[in-house]
Amino acid sequence: MEALLLGAGLLLGAYVLVYYNLVKAPPCGGIASLRGRTAVVTGANSGIGKMTALELARRGARVVLACRSRERGEAAAFDLRQESGNNEVIFMALDLASLASVRAFATAFLSSEPRLDILIHNAAPAPGISSCGRTHEPFNLLLRVNHIGPFLLTHLLLPRLKTCAPSRVVVVSSAAHRRGHLDFTRLDRPVVGWQQELRAYADSKLANVLFARELATQLEGTGVTCYAAHPGPVNSELFLRHVPGWLSPLLRPLAWLVLRTPRGGAQTPLYCALQEGIEPLSGRYFANCHVEEVPPAARDDRAAHRLWEASKRLAGLGPGQDAEPDEDPQPEDPGTPSSRSSPLSEEPTVSEPHAIPHNSPDLSKVTHRIQVKTEPEP
Ligand SMILES: NC(=O)c1ccc[n+]([C@@H]2O[C@H](COP(=O)([O-])OP(=O)(O)OC[C@H]3O[C@@H](n4cnc5c(N)ncnc54)[C@H](OP(=O)(O)O)[C@@H]3O)[C@@H](O)[C@H]2O)c1
């Protein structure tokens, strides 16, 4: 009996440790009212993105849910309008796997939205999809959705972020970046099998940290700052949706016990978007609402710059490619299968419950001209 009690006590003690170190997320705080400001959250129809969008809406922001599925995006926008009591939550179609879709989203956004104050790159495909034989992309899908698509989107929306400065870009990364390694000779090569995909996921998360670093350098003095954020281990669908049916009843309760809620996971991205006074930390990596040191590979400025140049090429922004391409560019590696043309799976659409005037005091600064630059001004 004593041994049983001791065992139970130890188990409880271990859980309390896990709970306070892993599960419990510090609340984000930051600017209380976002009235008159506009935020874009990618992949906002579920998990961390949805909870991030909810908090932004609760604080009064106009929130654009940039999602690849109209059905899921519209449903999330409806939920968030109900839950936040804020009618300015809208859906716009964005498939980050398609550069044509990224460009179409940017064009639609810039022609309909006069402001952009917060851009949150949250979307990520679940690693393991390709290994289930469901996708046959001629490029590295994880790098495309997690880095190249966001890179291009940032580039296209930068003029609007600059006119609305002080404004912020948040890249939702992961502690998995610590296992990442960027091989520039095969950056965009397709990955096959779940092991390669998990590796590619870590690599793409390292790319997120390096991108935030280089972007901060490029944007110095513009009033636009950027941050990489790790949400913590979160009980979302990212990894769980591909768990085999028979394992689900075991893993889901365990995940509920030892992982953060998506709302908890949203706290660090929100902190990076809203906390006053962190501008001098632009380009840094945050976890648990604190700035954190990263390993040498993630603070290598030469690698960050090299990635920037490679990303420009892969995003179709290389020299002479600044005009809107009709097709996604060829993969970097000539040994890979030829690139498909990427027609939009969905036309860019905006769903809006009410036409709401933008009463921002900064509207006089806003230009409606769509500007596309090769590179942000230093
Ligand atoms: N969960 C964790 O433990 C954890 C830990 C560290 C970092 N993160 C990061 O947190 C972020 C959010 O993940 P989550 O856990 O909330 O996962 P999630 O619930 O699976 O959400 C991922 C979102 O990304 C969207 N998405 C996937 N492919 C897309 C594409 N091609 N274009 C546009 N949107 C796309 C998904 O849309 P669909 O519904 O249409 O698939 C979904 O809305 C990710 O960047 C992830 O790497 C998560």
Over residues 288-338, the pLDDT tens digits come to 999 999 999 999 999 999 999 999 999 999 775 544 433 455 444 333 333
DSSP-derived pairing of the beta strands 89-93 and 350-351: antiparallel
Rounded distance between C-alpha atoms, residue 274 and residue 291, angstroms: 14
How close is the Cα of 369 to the center of ligand 1, in Å? Answer: 32
In whole angstroms, how far apart are CA 252 and each of 18, 238, 243, 246?
17, 13, 9, 11
How close is the Cα of 123 to the center of ligand 1, in Å? Answer: 4
Assess whether the C-beta atom of 122 lies below 6 angstroms from ligand 1: yes
The burial of 330, by beta-carbon neighbours within 10 Å (0-12 exposed, 13-18 middle, 19 or more buried), is given as middle
Q: Give the atom of ligand 1 at the shortest distance from the alpha carbon of 98.
A: 31
Ligand 1: which of 46, 55, 130, 272 to mutate, most ligand atoms within 8 Å of CB? 46
Crossing angle of helices 194-218 and 149-163, in 10° steps, is 20
> Where do runs of H (alpha helix) occur along the chain?
2-18, 47-58, 70-84, 99-112, 141-143, 149-163, 194-218, 237-240, 248-258, 262-265, 267-274, 301-314
Give me the pLDDT at residue 351, please.
Answer: 52
SS3 for 276?
coil
Assess whether the C-beta atom of 202 lies below 6 angstroms from ligand 1: no
Whole-model pTM over 0.75? yes
How close is the Cα of 80 to the center of ligand 1, in Å? Answer: 17
Give me the pLDDT at residue 237, please.
Answer: 82
Look up residue 234 and give its DSSP letter. B
Q: CA dihedral in degrees (375, 221, 211, 129; nearest 10)?
A: -80
CB-based contacts of 378, cutoff 8 Å, min separation 6: 217, 218, 220
Whether pLDDT at 348 is above 80: no
Rounded distance between C-alpha atoms, residue 99 and residue 117, angstroms: 23
Among the listed residues 201, 227, 271, 285, the single catalytic one is: 201
Calculate mean pLDDT across residues 125-131: 68
Element (H, E) at 225: strand 224-230
Nearest alpha carbon, ligand 1 atom 36: 43
Q: Give the atom of ligand 1 at the shortest distance from the alpha carbon of 259.
A: 3
How close is the Cα of 344 to the center of ligand 1, in Å? Answer: 20
Calculate mean pLDDT across residues 330-348: 36
Ligand 1: which of 45, 68, 143 to mutate, most ligand atoms within 8 Å of CB? 68
Minimum mean pLDDT range among 70-74, 98-102, 197-201, 280-284: 197-201
Residue 345: pLDDT band with limits 50, 70, 90: very low
Give me the pLDDT at residue 128, please.
Answer: 67
Residue 102: pLDDT band with limits 50, 70, 90: very high
Q: Give the atom of ligand 1 at the shortest distance from the alpha carbon of 97.
A: 31
Q: Give the atom of ligand 1 at the shortest distance from the alpha carbon of 144.
A: 31
How close is the Cα of 71 to the center of ligand 1, in Å? Answer: 16
Assess whether the C-beta atom of 43 lies below 6 angstroms from ligand 1: yes
Rounded distance between C-alpha atoms, residue 288 and residue 334, angstroms: 41
Rounded distance between C-alpha atoms, residue 320 and residue 317, angstroms: 8
Q: Which of 311, 286, 290, 310 is nearest to 298 (CA)?
A: 286
Residues in the chain: 378
Q: Is 20 a catalytic residue?
A: no
Assess whether the C-beta atom of 346 lies below 6 angstroms from ligand 1: no
Assess whether the C-beta atom of 215 lies below 6 angstroms from ligand 1: no
Calculate mean pLDDT across residues 226-244: 87
Q: Give the atom of ligand 1 at the shortest distance from the alpha carbon of 123.
A: 24
Q: Half-sphere exposure of residue 189, counting CA atoms within 13 Å on the CB side?
A: 14
How close is the Cα of 303 to the center of ligand 1, in Å? Answer: 26
SS3 for 43?
coil
Rounded distance between C-alpha atoms, residue 53 and residue 172, angstroms: 13
Rounded distance between C-alpha atoms, residue 100 and residue 103, angstroms: 5
